[in-house]
Amino acid sequence: MSNARLVGGGERVVWGVGLFALGGFADRAGLTGALSAAVPRRGERAPTHDRGRVLVHALVMLAGGGEACTDIEHLRAQRGLFGDVASDSTLYRTIRGLGAGGPEALLGAAAVVRERLWADRGRSRPLVVDIDSTLVEVHSENKQGAAPNYKGGYGFHPMICSTSDGEPLWVKQRPGNAAANHIADHLEVLDAAVQTLPEADAAGHREGDDPDLVGRPLVVRIDTGGCSATLAEGLAKRNIGFVVSARSAPAVEAAIRSALGDPGRWHTAQRDPKQRKRRGAQVADLTDLADLSGWPQGTRLVVRREPLHPAAQRSLFPSDHFRYWGFYTDQTGDPARLDRLMRSHADIEDAVCRLKHSGLSRMPFTDWHANSTWAALCMIGLALVGWFQTCCLTGELRRAAPKRLRWQLWHLPALVCHTGRRVLLRLPDQHPGARALLAVAHPR
C-alpha cells in the first residue's frame, strides 16, 4: 500500500459517470418520455419532479446496485451529473401511487422502447422465450402476500418471462406459497409477455388467433413446472411452440426401457451450435414408444442420457450407468439439435441471477402493489442495461454481469473541468472502464 492519506475537499471530483451515460441513453431511447406518459398526473398542479425522470433515476440507481428507495440519495448527492434528483420519499410516493396497475403501465412503457430498438433485428429465426419462477426471501411478516415457500423459507415467488438472450419481458408477483407448476400463471405471464413484443413478433400469438397471422414463429421453453398437456393445449391455441422438460412417469420409463435394446436409436448429442459432439451423451426420439394421448397432435418425446456422475440430478429412469433426462416438444428437426435447444433453457437462471443482483432480491415495501411495481422496475432496469450493452458496448462488456459493470463502468470517477461554456468530465486513464466509456461518448 502507498503512503497516501485520505483528505476531503475534492469538490471537482464526481463518481457514477457510467450511470450518467446510462441515464442519457434512457433519454435518447425514449424511455424517459414513455414512462412519463405511462404515469398519470394526480392533482391539479404538475409535480415538482417529472415522474418519468424520477423512475429513470430509480432504474439508474438499481443498475448501480441500489436495493431500496433510500439508495436514490447517492444520485441526489451528485447534482452536477444527474441534475435535480427526487428524494427517497418522492420515489417512495411515486411507486406507491401507481397502485394495482403499476407493473402493467411501466412494462407497457418499456414495450414502446423495445418496439423501436428491435426494429432492425432480423426475424428469420423463431423467437425463443423462457419462463421460470424464483424465490425471494424476506425477513418480515408485515409484507402483504409474503408466505412460506416449498423450500422452508418465507417470502415471494415471482414468475418471470425473458427472451433466450436474457432480455426481461414480464414478471408476475406471487406469494411465497404459489405453486411452481401453476398452469394459469404460466399462460397469464406468457400472454402478458407477448403483449410487450413488437407487433411483428407478437402477431398471431394471442389466444384464438388465426395461424395465418403469424409473422414469426414463437417457441417457449419451460422446466418441469410446465410439464402439462393442458398447458401444451393452451400454447397450441396461441400458435406458440413448446419445449418442456418431462417429469418422471410410468409412460416415460416404459418408453426408455423399450429403447434400451435398440442401440441404433441413440445418437451422439451436440455440445454447441457448431455441432461438436458431447462426449458420452446420447439422444433418442422415443415418440413412437411413448403414450402421448392427451398431448397436442405432433408432440414428441426426446430423451438424452449421459454417464452418471456424483453430482447428477434426478433421473427419469433408474440406472447405475446413465442419467436420463427428456422433454416434450412440438418442434420438428433433428433430436440432437432440439436437445441443445432445450438445454439452453438453463440460460434463464442467468437472467434470474442478474435480476436478483439488480434489486429483485429485495421487496422493500409492505404494500403488495408497491412490491409488484418494484419487481417491474427491476425488470425494466435490467432491460435498460441490456439495451445499453447491445447498442453501445463491445467485447466482453457487452455480456458482462452486473457486478463487473459496476466495478468497471457504472461507478467510474471523473474530474469536472470547465472550458469556455462547456463542462468536461475527465476520466482517469488508468481506469479499466475509461476507454469503453469514451468509445460510447465518441463513437467512430
**Would residue 59 count as lying in a domain?**
yes
One pLDDT digit (tens) per residue for the chain, 444 residues = 567 887 787 788 889 999 999 999 999 999 999 999 998 776 556 677 888 999 999 999 999 999 999 999 999 998 888 989 999 999 999 999 999 999 999 999 999 999 999 998 888 899 999 999 999 999 888 999 999 999 999 999 999 999 999 999 999 999 999 999 999 999 999 999 999 999 999 999 999 999 999 999 999 999 999 999 999 999 999 999 999 999 998 989 999 999 988 888 998 888 766 667 777 789 999 999 999 999 999 999 999 988 877 666 667 877 877 888 999 999 999 999 999 999 999 889 999 999 999 999 999 999 999 999 999 999 999 999 999 999 999 999 999 999 999 999 999 999 888 887 888 889 998 888 888 888 887 665
Domain range holding 392? Answer: 13-104+365-441
**Residue whose cell numbers read 406468457:** 190
pLDDT for the residue numbered 259? 92
**Would residue 315 count as lying in a domain?**
no
pLDDT for the residue numbered 45? 60
**Would residue 422 count as lying in a domain?**
yes
- CA gap 333, 285 in Å, rounded: 11
pLDDT for the residue numbered 270? 80
**Would residue 79 count as lying in a domain?**
yes
**Would residue 187 count as lying in a domain?**
no
Contacts with 124 (C-beta within 8 Å, 6 or more apart), sequence order: none
**Would residue 58 count as lying in a domain?**
yes
Report the domain count for the chain. 1
What count of other Cβ atoms lies within 10 Å of the Cβ of residue 90? 18
Of 341, 338, 344, 345, which Cα lies nearest the Cα of 267?
338
pLDDT for the residue numbered 44? 55
**Would residue 221 count as lying in a domain?**
no
331 touches 241 (CB < 8 A): yes
Sign, CA dihedral 51-53-59-62, equals: negative
Residue 207 vs residues 15, 35, 128, 210, 311: alpha-carbon distances, Å: 49, 28, 18, 9, 41
**Would residue 380 count as lying in a domain?**
yes
- CA gap 69, 95 in Å, rounded: 10
pLDDT for the residue numbered 442? 66
Of 35, 201, 56, which Cα lies nearest the Cα of 103?
35
pLDDT for the residue numbered 273? 64
255 touches 303 (CB < 8 A): yes
State the pTM of this model.
Answer: 0.92
Could you say which DSSP state residue 191 is in? H
